[in-house]
């Protein structure tokens, strides 16, 4: 009974920091091919969450309140991170916390950067594959083209952000995402982990913050809809009612996707996850613990050298 009770106790914050560093080290030292495979599903699962988000937003508008609509979208999007956490997939935004074992000198800089590159590339491929599957499935034309219209409007909004706005929105996004991962790590059951994830993820999505891996799905999806949706899509009731045409979305280009969104968002996500969460909690808990552990032998030796002390 005692063993069961101990397993249900939530770790202290200091223990959580140590456990998170250990988990980040384990991720960064996996065999390269295994790391790549897990990063594919990291991108694919976040894409599934974004599909759920888009589906939840179809037809929402006046008189439906904006706030509850955004919160609804955030809650359903959190399914993506739930899948990532429970499956052990590799998501770049969470991977930014590998700065913790790097600071502790348990991880070399080459391996650290290599993991980031593999994670980014794998996430992108996984996200784009899901976007292609959605296009080929004809989903953008569903509900009289309402589904595709949500994608186009969201994509247009993202690629027309200024670099400054995209960067700072990305800091906030990964601040929330890494805190969600951090709290999920404290869960003693699947239900605990799911509950821990919902709040921070709903917060960042509802607030319009920018997540690089989510955008690796949404932005290519918008570009695919714009360029490859059939003529019947543009004749859908939702499109005609909105009064938009192909030219309305002329700003959705590969250049805009990469240079006006993904680059500043990736950089902002790195700051939000690596600095605001990883470095911060390393300084709060790991560094003091390592310092105390290093000083302990010296203190013991000093005491033994002066018995009367």
Composition of the chain by helix, strand, coil, percent to 5: 80, 0, 20
Domains along the chain with CATH numbers: 7-287 (1.20.1080.10)
Whole-number Cα distances in Å, 195 to 20, 180, 229, 257:
18, 10, 37, 33
Please tell me the distance from the alpha carbon of residue 279 to that of residue 259, in angstroms, as a whole number: 27
Report pLDDT for 1.
43
Report pLDDT for 62.
63
- Asked if the peptide bond before residue 63 counts as cis, ω within 30 degrees of 0, the response is yes
Q: Name all contacts of 70-74 with Cβ < 8 Å and 24+ positions apart.
A: 70/205, 70/206, 70/207, 70/208, 71/202, 71/206, 73/205, 73/206, 74/201, 74/202, 74/203, 74/204, 74/205, 74/206
C-alpha 224: how far from its chain's center? 22
Q: Which residues contact 159 (CB under 8 A, 6 or more apart)?
A: 219, 251, 252, 253, 256, 257, 260, 261
Torsion, CA 119, CA 125, CA 129, CA 134, rounded to 10? 70
Q: How far apart are the first and last CA of the chain?
A: 44
Report pLDDT for 177.
98
Report pLDDT for 307.
58
The one-digit pLDDT tens for each residue of the chain (309 residues) are 445 455 667 789 999 999 999 999 999 999 999 999 999 999 999 999 999 999 999 987 767 788 999 999 999 999 999 999 999 999 999 999 999 999 999 999 999 999 999 999 999 999 999 999 999 999 999 999 999 999 999 999 999 999 999 999 999 999 999 999 999 998 889 999 999 999 999 999 999 999 999 999 999 999 999 999 999 999 999 999 999 999 999 999 999 999 999 999 999 999 999 999 999 999 999 999 998 888 877 555 555 556 554
Nearest to 135 by CA among 148, 123, 146: 148
What is the 8-class DSSP label of residue 10? P
Report pLDDT for 64.
76
Report pLDDT for 300.
54
pLDDT per residue as tens digits for the range 186-231: 888 999 999 999 999 999 999 999 999 999 999 999 999 999 999 9
C-alpha 294: how far from its chain's center? 35
Nearest to 239 by CA among 158, 151, 159: 151
Beta-sheet strands, E only, within 50-173: none
Q: Which residues contact 241 (CB under 8 A, 6 or more apart)?
A: none
Contact 23, 284 (CB under 8 A): no
Please tell me the distance from the alpha carbon of residue 257 to that of residue 8, in angstroms, as a whole number: 45
């Amino acid at each position: 009974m005692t063993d069961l009770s101990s397993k249900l106790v939530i770790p202290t914050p200091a223990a959580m920091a140590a456990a998170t560093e250990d988990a980040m080290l384990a991720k960064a030292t996996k065999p390269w091919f295994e790391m790549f495979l897990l990063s594919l599903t990291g991108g694919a699962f976040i894409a599934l969450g974004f599909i759920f988000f888009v589906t939840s937003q179809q037809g929402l508008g006046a008189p439906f309140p904006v706030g509850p609509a955004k919160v609804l979208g955030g809650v359903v999007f959190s399914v993506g991170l739930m899948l990532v956490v429970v499956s052990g997939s590799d998501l770049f935004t969470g991977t930014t916390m590998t700065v913790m074992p790097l600071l502790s000198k348990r991880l070399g800089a080459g391996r650290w950067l290599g993991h980031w590159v593999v994670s980014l590339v794998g996430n992108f491929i996984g996200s784009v594959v899901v976007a292609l599957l959605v296009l080929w499935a004809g989903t953008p034309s569903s509900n009289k083209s309402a589904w595709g219209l949500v994608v186009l409007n969201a994509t247009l909004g993202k690629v027309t952000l200024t670099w400054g706005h995209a960067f700072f929105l990305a800091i906030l996004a990964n601040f929330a995402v890494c805190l969600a991962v951090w709290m999920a790590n404290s869960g003693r059951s699947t239900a605990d982990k799911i509950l821990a994830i919902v709040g921070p993820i709903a917060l960042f999505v509802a607030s319009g913050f920018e997540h690089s891996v989510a955008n690796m799905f949404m932005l290519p999806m918008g570009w695919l809809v714009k360029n490859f949706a059939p003529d019947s899509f543009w004749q859908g009731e939702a499109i005609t009612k909105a009064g938009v045409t192909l030219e309305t979305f002329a700003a959705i280009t590969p250049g805009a996707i990469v240079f006006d969104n993904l680059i500043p968002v990736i950089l902002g996500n790195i700051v939000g996850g690596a600095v605001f969460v990883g470095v911060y909690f390393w300084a709060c808990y790991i560094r003091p613990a390592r310092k105390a552990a290093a000083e302990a032998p010296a203190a013991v030796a000093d005491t033994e050298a002066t018995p009367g002390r």
